[in-house]
Structure 1
Amino acid sequence: MLNLIIAAVQAILQVMVVVFLGCVLAKYGYFGMDKQRWLSKVNLVFFTPCLLFSNIASVISIQKLLAFWPIPVFYLTYAIMNYLSSQIITRMIGLSPAYRRFVLACVMFSNSNSLPIATISSLAVSEAAHILFWGSDDTSEAVAARGISYTLFFAIFGNLIRWSYGYQLLQKRDDDDTSTIGGGQDEEIIPTISTYQSFETNNISNSSSDDDEYLSTSNLKRDGMPSRQLSSVTISVDESSSLLPQTNKQHNKQIEPTVNDSIIIIIAKKINGFMSPPLYAAFLALAVGLTPLKPLFFDKQSFLYPSFTKAIEGCGKAAVPLILTCLGAQLYSISDSQHPASPEMKKPVATAIAIRMCLMPFLVVPIVVLFVLYGGQFSTLASDPVFVTMMIVLGCTPTAINLVQITQVNNIFEEEMLRMLFWSYGVVCVPVCTFVVFLALNVVDRML
């Protein structure tokens, strides 16, 4: 039993050690707020898409899509449970619409990558590994491989929804009360440059009409000094930011009736406004993984595998450490500022933690138990101890760490999200995740 406790704690500490190092870097002045925002944006538009492309495209296939059909069913079931519980509870306690969106995002989008993978990797080499064996010829390596495969397949659906619907939930809206919602520190709203066009600043001074096309709402310090976003080209994104250049509204009205392709352009902009760089990468990965293109990129004998695919995989491996390091630096900034959380901020954070970490285990475990009891006639996965364990773990993990990227880019809910992650991973995660792992292993030991 002690070995199980150690295995669960080790899995959590893998995450917390990197977060701690981010705190150390921030404490000694290597990681200021401007660098944190800049690095978060680089991670969002480059390293995270590389991670999603390499992980999704390498795992997905038509065969696995058919054999792993219970995984999207579990994800959809969890998503519906999270949505309903969040909507009911936040309305009962009287949260504002903006904070209802915040709680919904924190509850719906959990850590479906780094923490579950670390957990199953630790369990596979622990004393508990024999409980997870599926047959007499199973091995610890096979246990870890199956667990990671299930996790990555589950994460595909989480990433698709997180970087589309989740991205929209954590954006500013016109009716939001910005006086009670945390954004960047000591900032107010004035026009600056949209994120994805911020690297084209050489074009902005051409004319006032060009300014209209590229300006959007962001933040600047109250003291009137130049914004750190402008000085370091790390401009925040609001709800109008997209990957395509913005066009002048009056100009659009003039050309819509006369230009034949205006409808296509409008549709493309609507779709693009809903997309994000990681979501583009996820769809590209599906296009590669489910088509004959996959051997060109992932066959070790192909020309592209050692040259292109390995390069993308290498860049993707930097995404999670960067997210964790930025998280640690941001947490240090909050603790160093001595700025107490307002009651308006404490309520949604506490609500999200209670739903995500305390309520979900009591909803997830019965669903998995029912699948073990009655799902065997529909899928062989119902008899795999690793699958049962991972479905319980994936349903009970803390809030996704990379949501902090979205809040930093959109410049809203930033302080709330940092406090949410601090309490989730720094305080609640170790005891709750240890309990969840115990629960999963007991279910497997008793029922399989």
Structure 2
Amino acid sequence: MLDLILSAVQAIMQVMVIVLVGSILYSRGYIDNEKQKWLSKLNLFFFTPCLLFSNIASVISFEKLLAYWPIPVFYCAFTLISWLLCQAVVPMFGVDKYYRRFILACVMFCNTNSLPVAIISSLAVSEAGKTLYWGSDDNQDMVSARGISYTLFFGLFCNILRWSYGYNLLQRKNEDDDTIVEDGGSTHSSSYGSINDTSRRSSSATMSDQRSEDVEANKADSPMHKKSRETTNLLDQGQSKPQVQAQPHLSSWVQCLKAIDKYMSPPLYAALLALFVGLCPPIKHLMYNPDSFFYASVTKAIESCGKASVPIVLVCLGAQLKSIRETQHENSPKYRQPVSLSIFIRMVLTPLCVLPLVYAFAKYGSKWSELANDPMFIVSMIVVGCTPTAINLAQITQVSGIFEEEMLNVLFWSYGVICIPVCTFVVFLALYMVNSMY
């Protein structure tokens, strides 16, 4: 029991120590709000794609897609449970429509990388990890490798949805500007609270850019502009008819690509590229064969850059949390409800649904998959299904300039207060479950 508690606490402290370092760096003046935004954008456009590419391409293969089929099934089930809980619980509390997609993102997208990998790695080398052995010839290294493989494979599907649908959920919409204007000095328009002048300027710049785009769009639709455009088109028709005939075909392709690009992000492009590499044996052999020239140069370089992603996110998180505490003395009542509701659904209601589902698979699933007999698989699915909100969401909100303060409060309370007791209890139940069944 004591080993179990220590394993869970140590795993969570690995995350919190780096967050604390970020807070100290902010206090000493090494990181300010502008540097946080710059670092988050750099991480989003470079380091995070490197992390996703190296994690997905190295794990995925056709064989694992067939053998690990319960993992995407569990992911779909967990995502559906989260979505249904939001649809059922949020209307009961009368949450403002503005915050509903924020709550949905916090509940649907959990931490599938830093925290579960740390917990599983710690469990594998602890005394409690002996209950995770699968067969008499098993050992701690094999247990750890299997657990991390299960977690990364689960994270593959989570990352694809997070960086497409989740990324779109946390983008600024046209109706958000109307909400900001109506609320006056509300927290919607501020990156770190209405007291913070730097974030206010950043948010105002974002709104100004969008409004200038709206002006240009209205200008383009005005009668004078249309008339001028029609005249120009007539002149073009007289000069070059073949170009006019090719234009509709080209325009449809451009519009299609633009529509797809709205739901894409740099990490998602990297994930799709990793899928292509992982599922194409010749290219994967070229990239991941230890004797290959590309493995020692290109692949290792990508892996090195990817390892910087999670620490950067955690350092920025610590700096952002410290910024919030210094610039705002009291939480706004307007977003206190969505913050607390997001944490309640993610950390309390979701585990209550995940545990029985995984238990049913462990008891009856051996008929369809041998993974049901692996204690490490059962523990891994419970851990990835009960972790707090994904830290990467803070990165998305900071770049998009919306829901920043709300997201930081969700992450602060989730990881700083609730995560240790809840995750310790969940891991204890998982180990108790496999110990009694195998």
Query: C-alpha displacement at 1:55, in angstroms?
Result: 0.3
* Counterpart Cα distance in 1 of 2:306 and 2:198: 32
Asked if 1 retains the 8 angstrom alpha-carbon contact of 2:193 and 2:328, the reply is: no
List alignment gaps of at least 5 residues for structure 2: 212-216, 234-242
The structure 2 residue matched to 1:366, chosen from 356, 363, 375, is 356
Asked if 1 retains the 8 angstrom alpha-carbon contact of 2:187 and 2:193, the reply is: no
Residue identity matched to 2:364: Y
TM-score of the two chains, using structure 1 as the length reference: 0.86
* Counterpart Cα distance in 2 of 1:417 and 1:229: 20
Provide, for residues 392-435 of structure 1, a one-character-per-residue CA deviation record: whole Å limited to 9, x for no partner.
11110000000001100110000000000000000000000000
Cα gap change, 1:276/1:297 in structure 2, threshold over 3 Å: closer, same or farther? same
Cα gap change, 1:340/1:146 in structure 2, threshold over 3 Å: closer, same or farther? same
Of the two structures, which has the highest relative contact order with CA contacts closer than 8 Å and spacing of 6 or more?
2
Asked if 2 retains the 8 angstrom alpha-carbon contact of 1:237 and 1:411, the reply is: no
Aligned to 1:266: 255
* Counterpart Cα distance in 1 of 2:362 and 2:345: 25
Cα gap change, 1:238/1:344 in structure 2, threshold over 3 Å: closer, same or farther? farther
Provide, for residues 304-333 of structure 1, a one-character-per-residue CA deviation record: whole Å limited to 9, x for no partner.
001100000000000000000000000000
Query: C-alpha displacement at 1:342, in angstroms?
Result: 1.1
The structure 2 residue matched to 1:326, chosen from 316, 322, 334, is 316
Structure 2 residue matching 1:300: 3-state secondary structure: coil
Asked if 2 retains the 8 angstrom alpha-carbon contact of 1:111 and 1:397, the reply is: yes
* Counterpart Cα distance in 1 of 2:19 and 2:151: 22
Asked if 2 retains the 8 angstrom alpha-carbon contact of 1:18 and 1:321, the reply is: yes
Aligned to 2:273: 284
Cα gap change, 1:181/1:90 in structure 2, threshold over 3 Å: closer, same or farther? farther
Structure 2 matches for 1:4-83, cutoff 5 A? 4-83=4-83
Asked if 2 retains the 8 angstrom alpha-carbon contact of 1:109 and 1:158, the reply is: yes
Residue identity matched to 2:276: A
TM-score of the two chains, using structure 2 as the length reference: 0.88
Query: C-alpha displacement at 1:68, in angstroms?
Result: 0.2
* Counterpart Cα distance in 1 of 2:44 and 2:78: 26
- Does residue 303 (structure 1) correspond to residue 299 (structure 2)? The answer is no
Aligned to 1:445: 435
- Does residue 377 (structure 1) correspond to residue 384 (structure 2)? The answer is no
Cα gap change, 1:70/1:271 in structure 2, threshold over 3 Å: closer, same or farther? same
Query: C-alpha displacement at 1:257, in angstroms?
Result: 7.5
Q: Identical aligned pairs, as a percentage?
A: 56
List alignment gaps of at least 5 residues for structure 1: 189-218, 241-245
Cα gap change, 1:153/1:238 in structure 2, threshold over 3 Å: closer, same or farther? farther
Aligned to 2:401: 411
Query: C-alpha displacement at 1:185, in angstroms?
Result: 3.6
Cα gap change, 1:60/1:119 in structure 2, threshold over 3 Å: closer, same or farther? same
Provide, for residues 311-360 of structure 1, a one-character-per-residue CA deviation record: whole Å limited to 9, x for no partner.
00000000000000000000000111243111111100000000000111
Structure 2 matches for 1:110-125, cutoff 5 A? 110-125=110-125
Q: What is the aligned-residue RMSD (CA, Å)?
A: 2.5
Residue identity matched to 1:295: H
Larger Rg: 2
Cα gap change, 1:236/1:287 in structure 2, threshold over 3 Å: closer, same or farther? farther
Between 1:160-169 and 1:93-102, the stretch displaced more is 93-102
